[in-house]
Amino acid sequence: MLTYSLRRLMWTPVLLVFVSFFVFLLGTYGPGDPVEIRLGNNYTPELAERLRDRLGLNDPFPVQYGRFLGRALRGDLGESLTFRGRDVITLIGPKLLTSAQLNVAGAIVAFGFGTPLGFYAAKRQGTWIDPSLVVGALVIFALPVFLTGPLAILVFAVNLDWVPVSGWGGLFDYRVVLPALTTGLPGIAVFVRLMRASTLDVLGQEYIQMARSKGLRASVVNYRHVARNALLPIITILGFTIAGLFGGSLITELIFGIPGIGRLALDSVFSRDYPVITALTLLGAVSLVVANLVIDIIYTLIDPRIRLR
Amino acid sequence: MAARELPESVSAEAEAPARSPLGLAWARLRRKKLAMAAMTVLAVLYLSGIFAPVISGVLGKDYSDQNLPKAQHGPDGENWFGTDILGRDIFIRVIWGIQTTVIITLATTLTGSLVLGVSLGLMAGYFRGKTDTAIMRLGEVVSSFPDILLIILIAATLRPRIVEAVRDFEDATFFSGLVSTGLVDFIVIGIALLPLTWFGTMRLVRGQVLAIRDAQFVESARATGVSTARMLARHIFPNVVSPLIVTISFGLGAIALSEVVLSFFGLGVQVGRPSLGRMIGETIGRTGSSGPSVLQNHPEQLIAPIAVVFLMIFCWNLLGDALNDVLNPRTR
Amino acid sequence: MISAMGKYAILILAAASLAILAACTSRSEEPEPDAPVMLQTATPLPTRSARPEIAPELRTTPEASSPGASGEIPYGGVFTRNWSDPPTLDPHLVTDTTSAGIVVEIFSGLVSLDENLEISPELAESWSISGGGTVYEFTLRKDLKFSNGDPVTTEDFRWSLERAAHPDTESPVAEIYLGDIIGIDEIIDGRGNVTSADGIEVIDERTIRLRIDGPKAYFLAKMTYPTAYVLNRANVNAGGDTWTDEAVGTGPFVLEEYRIGQRMVLARNENYWGRKAYLDNVVMNLAGGVSMSMYENDEIDITGVGLADLNRVQDPTEDLNADLIRVPPQFSISYVGFNVDEPPFDDPKFRQALNYAVDKETIAEHVYSGLVLPAYGIIPPGFPGFSEEIKGLRFDLEKAKQLLQESRYADPESRPRITVTIPGTGGLPGRDVQVVKDMWSENLGVEIEIQQVEWATYLQDLNRSRLQAWGGLGWEADYPDPQDFIDILFHSESAGNHGAYSNPDVDRLVEQARTEQDIIRRVQLYNEAEQIILDDSAWLPMWFDTEGLALLKSWVKDYAFTPIIIPKLKNIYIQK
């Protein structure tokens, strides 16, 4: 397991180079000339030429890519085309942090509701509770954000006036509740299923039977042995949920007016702000890769069975 | 709302190949009431999509027919689901929207999951070594992109090129009106969703192949001098069918959702051809900012397309669960 | 001024005439607060009655509100609204409405436009014009200070003007707004070697003299634009490209906080030369969100009204109804444009047929709930130069069919493919265009394709005249002169003429009008030109006016609606 992790660690930079190359390629040969867009109606061939020179867009592709790579290695991902003089990193940084917090909040919702329900369902296997919990979770999973987001605003913010419609104060601010619920809702089903499957696996293991037969109290067996062991594989997925920076929260961010990466990502695609697009994609890839690694390492550390190998 | 599929189980990859023939599985599936209900719903949805032109014809309504004096009207005997802001019949637009989704999900699944995923998976698993490494690494690159952003990026950058190509094709041949049939959209979305669909299937197939390639029957087949292609097709492929069916069942819901999201942002299906995502986007706005207002004042405009999206995801997952149970029985 | 959903917006160069700026707006389908607010006007218009009255009992403009019984206007309070991220806050680089709306509150120049759109003294207390209209001498007010307390001198003005023109500044508009000053063009073309302009002369600390290259009456108006604003040299030099994060200006407000994509906070400038702003802060939410719900929850003080809410806000039993503001008419027109070089739009008969085949009254009534006024001319009612005599092409099915038959493109088989391009993503784009498509198809059997592209690409193609036909665009006036519409949009060499329309008669008439001194004759010239343009069917004119309703909290007083961007936040006060 550790060697596997190490091998992947070594593979990571190569992976990122591939990713950056692909994105850079799309940016260079994609439609929409950033220079023309930036100049708009003031476009003159001379002005465009000068700007292209300054931005280095006249160089051949390998030169441009090489320069990009060199800078990226030093932590410089260039300047936004839309927001002049804004370093892409400083532009993205705070937004990334916001999105990450929203994802953590969403993951907490998904995990917090999902695992107990999944555990409960597994314990009640064979009764009506188990299938109805699973189906119920599926219902929640299938509800699109298009509906849950506006509905949450209408019910909890406008009609009941419990929370504000908009605003963002970070993970520990009460305004995080609605967006977190909206983002985390589909995830509940994921954790219900995982926890259920995992618990069933553990329940079938010999050591649990043994613990029971030794006469340990049911609650001790349930929580010290079954739940803990069943949770182990779940951590993997929890990591991925948090790392998936763009997926679940894009529309949530738009609807709740959260200053995260979502709106910036959309706007930069629409305005062809290629440095921002490239940076976002790269950072997204990095976060996924890093999340993978961290999970592996945590996994190795906490699971005695793996450590022994 | 990403293209996300529910992981069927933590240890899906290492599963043993199904031993029961498909017929037996079907018999078991038929005993599952929920699964059969889901299948029925899906059948109704997909059939109404496929036969949208027929239904349109019978009812004498077209999806683009506008009736301005009856705009934003609630459901009644004539317009079962009400009318939208231009007085178009929402029911007709929804079934045409389903057709769009059906075409895109089927096309993407066929090309992405089946053709690419299965063939690459078979290759990787059977040949191992360098082929395997290359394919796996490629997959890792693709899957390390943030998915929805990648889809949006590909759709936005590819569309103009593909429109140009189709226009050139129209000009060069006697075909016309291809662009307005939505062909371009199907190509764009198909390509944009491709990176997301093939890798999962590929890994699954590869895992299955790795697990059985040294099995007795494969060894003996090889010993009798069966060619590689024949071996893959006759002996190895049949053994990966069951898990494949399960994956595809889960995947269809996810792909449908991805298409809806893409069209919601205006990057999928273009103006003119109805699509569920576009119907939702047109109603609540690109940033969802009209959502609460619409729910409050004209909920019927939102309910029908969203209900269909919901049913598609829900039923495919329900069915996937059931298929998983009957095709990959475990000792439980 | 092209402004798309309050975002990607670009100012368009007025043709070589008395013009300053012309505006071009996009019809935003979502309740974007920017649009209705920024496009409103405070000036009462003579022909208001030409417009359909929807809710006459509504208060029209908040200027009617009077201060408290004591007559004392209270200082303090916060005004909160939605806004979008400005592409730049550097006055010398501003080309769009989103940026300009903030820049004019933080910075200022020698002169500005007042609420009646007349040029008024700002940092200059007076000026004199000599040399046959080519020499302008400005005298600054006494004891002017930047927001950080630094004194403002004429030297700062000289440096600012030269900085705006310097190639390193990369101002896309320096040539348009400052190019009349002698020596400025040399700086712009000097590749950085030329840094001073002969035409800018500092006489003493409070007197600066500008010499221009001809007696151009519009020069002073150009000096109201942010390109001519004064900046603090030390401030600009200290901060690199992002010096505006710590902006030091002379406007009524200072930038207290700016977090991209999150929020912007303006605070009162205590060093402002005139009466200080009443408000303590203006908070602009930049993160988006559901503006209608935010308004209902008192999270913002102003919002536009989307179509889904029209009935609700107009219902007198609803609480919101009390906040409803009838947005005064704007001098704007939206249209479907044709590129007359591209078949089938090169045949006037075909274009006329398309015009006659559209029933705008029905669209206005059912799609826009009567909030728009069908346009049959180019110049909006109430705008100088508007004439009742102008004859537009009203809905006439018979004529439309007949004209189509007479046109070169009567045969659908050989008719070239028609693609109408519309801007935007998602939303309900091109609602008009979708209806028009249906009407052309039903009434004439003319089929079109609608193609939707993102704003950036749309503007790019529009500016390069690459679109065969386009919709979803409007044109909005920035100064009250018919030249703003007729000359800028239809002169064959105007940059604002995106459809390659070219008629020697129109060119001749508008050129004559540029220098015509007799006002009545001048308007006649424009009317003649307008009639020719309509007969030629260069466009399919759609609507005058854009969104018509907004909600404003009752405690926000003296919110001024202006058709162009002028500093207005300092007059707002809060009275709860």
How many percent of chain A have pLDDT more than 70? 84
In terms of domains, do A46 and A147 share one? no
A38–chain B nearest CA distance, Å: 18
B249–chain C nearest CA distance, Å: 29
How many residues does the structure list for chain A?
Answer: 309
> Residue C548's pLDDT is what?
67
pLDDT tens across B139-171, in order? 877 776 666 666 677 777 777 778 778 878 877
Residues 84-103 of B with CB under 8 A from C: 85-87
pTM, 2 dp: 0.81
Who among B64, B176, B282 is closest to C428 (CB)? B282
B179 chain-C contacts, CB cut-off 8 A: 449
C129 touches chain B (CB under 8 A): no
> Residue C79's pLDDT is what?
94
> Residue C196's pLDDT is what?
87
- Chain B interface, mutation test: which of A125, A134, A146, A196, most B Cβ atoms within 10 Å? A146
Q: How many CB atoms lie within 10 A of CB C206?
A: 17
Q: How far apart are the two ends of chain B, measured CA to CA in Å? A: 33
In terms of domains, do A65 and A193 share one? no
- What's the token pair of residue B240? 């990966």
> Residue C540's pLDDT is what?
92
- Alpha-carbon span A35 to B168, nearest angstrom: 27
- Alpha-carbon span C36 to C476, nearest angstrom: 12
> Is residue C254 helix, strand or coil?
strand
CATH of region B21-53+81-331, choose from 1.10.3720.10, 3.30.750.200, 3.40.50.620, 3.40.50.10800: 1.10.3720.10
Nearest C-alpha in C relative to A165: C294
- What's the token pair of residue B261? 């999201």
Q: Which of the pair, B98 or C544, is modelled with greater confidence?
A: B98
Helix (H) or strand (E) run with residue C236 in it: helix C233-239
The CA dihedral of C27, C28, C31, C34, to the nearest 10 degrees, is -90
Q: Which of the pair, B126 or C223, is modelled with greater confidence?
A: C223
A141 chain-B contacts, CB cut-off 8 A: 6, 313-314, 317
CB contact under 8 A, A265 and B149: yes
B81–chain A nearest CA distance, Å: 17
Residue C83, in any domain of the structure: no
Q: Which domain holds residue A230?
A: 90-307
Report yes or no: B125 and B205 within 8 Å, Cβ to Cβ. Answer: yes
In terms of domains, do A64 and A195 share one? no
- What's the token pair of residue C276? 């200080």
- What's the token pair of residue C70? 């004591």
The CA dihedral of A62, A23, A29, A63, to the nearest 10 degrees, is -10
Q: How far apart are the two ends of chain C, measured CA to CA in Å? A: 36
A94 chain-C contacts, CB cut-off 8 A: 259-260, 262
Give all chains having 3 or more CB-to-CB distances under 8 Å with chain C. Answer: A, B
Who among A79, A83, A271 is closest to C456 (CB)? A271
> Is residue C415 helix, strand or coil?
coil
Q: Which residues of B109-146 are buried (b: 16+ CB within 10 A; e: fewer)?
A: bebbbbebbbbbbbbbbbeeeeebeebbebbbbbbbbb
> Residue A32's pLDDT is what?
65
Residue C24, in any domain of the structure: no
Residue C483, in any domain of the structure: yes
Nearest C-alpha in A relative to B292: A150
The tally of domains found in chain C comes to: 2
Q: By C-alpha distance, which of C204, C137, C198 is closest to C165?
A: C198
> Residue C48's pLDDT is what?
25
CB contact under 8 A, B291 and A281: no
> Residue B64's pLDDT is what?
80
Is pLDDT of A4 > 80? no
- Chain C interface, mutation test: which of A35, A38, A41, most C Cβ atoms within 10 Å? A41
> Residue A305's pLDDT is what?
53
CB contact under 8 A, C290 and A51: no
What does each C-alpha distance from A96 to A107, B106, C245 come to in angstroms?
Answer: 16, 35, 21
Residue C520, in any domain of the structure: yes
What does each C-alpha distance from A73 to A64, A68, A115, A289, C543 come to in angstroms?
Answer: 14, 9, 40, 17, 54
How many residues does the structure list for chain B?
Answer: 332
Q: By C-alpha distance, which of C202, C160, C161, C155 is closest to C185?
A: C161
**What is the band of A53 on the pLDDT scale with cuts at 50, 70, 90?**
confident
- What's the token pair of residue C252? 């009524």
DSSP B110: I
Mark which of C222, C241, C260 sits at the end of a domain.
C241
Residue with tokens 């590929």: B202
CB contact under 8 A, C463 and A41: yes
Residue with tokens 């939303």: C427
CATH of the domain at C443: 3.10.105.10
Indicate the residue type of A252. Answer: T
CB contact under 8 A, C456 and A94: no
> Residue A239's pLDDT is what?
66
Q: By C-alpha distance, which of C9, C137, C33, C72 is closest to C559?
A: C33
In the beta sheet, which residues pair with residue C268? C253
Nearest C-alpha in C relative to A155: C293
CB contact under 8 A, C299 and A164: yes
Report yes or no: C283 and C272 within 8 Å, Cβ to Cβ. Answer: no
A160 touches chain B (CB under 8 A): no
> Residue C217's pLDDT is what?
67
Report yes or no: C66 and C60 within 8 Å, Cβ to Cβ. Answer: no
Q: Which domain holds residue C194?
A: 111-241
A154 chain-C contacts, CB cut-off 8 A: 293
Q: By C-alpha distance, which of C408, C477, C531 is closest to C23?
A: C477
What does each C-alpha distance from C283 to A9, B43, C145, C244 come to in angstroms?
Answer: 46, 53, 24, 17
B23 CB contacts (<8 Å, ≥6 apart)? none
Give all chains having 3 or more CB-to-CB distances under 8 Å with chain B. Answer: A, C
Phi, psi of A145, rounded to the nearest 5 degrees: -60, -30
In terms of domains, do C228 and C340 share one? no
Q: By C-alpha distance, which of A284, A264, A267, A281 is closest to A27?
A: A281
In terms of domains, do A44 and A150 share one? no
Residue C539, in any domain of the structure: yes
In terms of domains, do A73 and A122 share one? no
Q: By C-alpha distance, which of A7, A30, A214, A230 is closest to A117?
A: A230
Report yes or no: C471 and C433 within 8 Å, Cβ to Cβ. Answer: yes
Report yes or no: C415 and C409 within 8 Å, Cβ to Cβ. Answer: yes
> Is residue C203 helix, strand or coil?
strand
> Residue C318's pLDDT is what?
84
Q: Which of the pair, B104 or B18, is modelled with greater confidence?
A: B104
Who among A142, A147, A288 is closest to B314 (CB)? A142
Rounded to 5°, the CA angle A267-A270-A272 comes to 100
How many percent of chain B have pLDDT more than 70? 87
- What's the token pair of residue B201? 């299937």
- What's the token pair of residue B166? 């189709």
How many percent of chain C have pLDDT more than 90? 33
The tally of domains found in chain A comes to: 2
Q: What is the pLDDT along chain C (576 residues), one digit of tens a residue?
A: 443 322 222 222 222 222 223 333 333 333 333 332 222 222 222 222 222 323 333 333 444 444 444 567 888 899 999 988 887 899 998 877 788 889 999 999 999 888 777 889 999 999 999 888 889 999 999 999 999 999 999 999 999 999 999 888 878 778 778 888 999 988 888 777 888 888 999 999 899 999 988 777 678 878 888 999 999 999 999 877 789 888 999 999 999 999 888 889 999 999 999 899 999 999 999 888 888 889 988 889 998 887 778 788 888 888 888 888 877 666 788 899 999 998 889 999 999 999 999 999 988 888 777 777 889 999 988 777 888 888 889 999 999 999 999 999 988 888 888 989 887 664 455 678 888 988 999 899 898 888 877 776 787 788 778 889 998 877 776 666 787 788 878 988 877 788 889 999 999 998 888 777 677 888 899 999 999 999 999 999 998 865 568 889 989 988 877 766 788 899 899 987
In terms of domains, do A211 and A290 share one? yes
Rounded to 5°, the CA angle C145-C146-C148 comes to 110
The CA dihedral of C427, C433, C435, C440, to the nearest 10 degrees, is -160
CATH of the domain at C181: 3.90.76.10
> Residue A54's pLDDT is what?
77
In terms of domains, do A105 and A17 share one? no
Mean of the per-residue pLDDT values for chain B?
79
In terms of domains, do A102 and A200 share one? yes
ipTM above 0.90, yes or no: no
Q: How far apart are the two ends of chain A, measured CA to CA in Å? A: 8
Chain B, chain C: beta-carbon pairs less than 8 Å apart: 109
Q: Which of the pair, C153 or B296, is modelled with greater confidence?
A: C153
A255 chain-C contacts, CB cut-off 8 A: 289-290
Residue C150, in any domain of the structure: yes
Residue C220, in any domain of the structure: yes
CATH of the domain at A193: 1.10.3720.10
Cα-trace Rg, chain C: 24
A251 chain-B contacts, CB cut-off 8 A: 1, 261, 264, 288
In terms of domains, do C340 and C227 share one? no
C132–chain B nearest CA distance, Å: 55
Q: Give mean pLDDT, residues B305-312.
A: 92
> Residue C26's pLDDT is what?
37
* DSSP codes, B31-92: T-HHHHHHHHHHHHHHHHHHTHHHHHHHHT--TT---GGGTTPPP-SSSTT-B-TT--BHHH
In terms of domains, do A115 and A246 share one? yes
Is pLDDT of B33 > 80? yes
pLDDT tens across A198-252, in order? 888 888 777 777 777 777 777 777 777 777 777 877 776 676 666 554 455 788 8
Mark which of C241, C257, C286 sits at the end of a domain.
C241
Mark which of C202, C219, C241 sits at the end of a domain.
C241
Indicate the residue type of B255. Answer: I
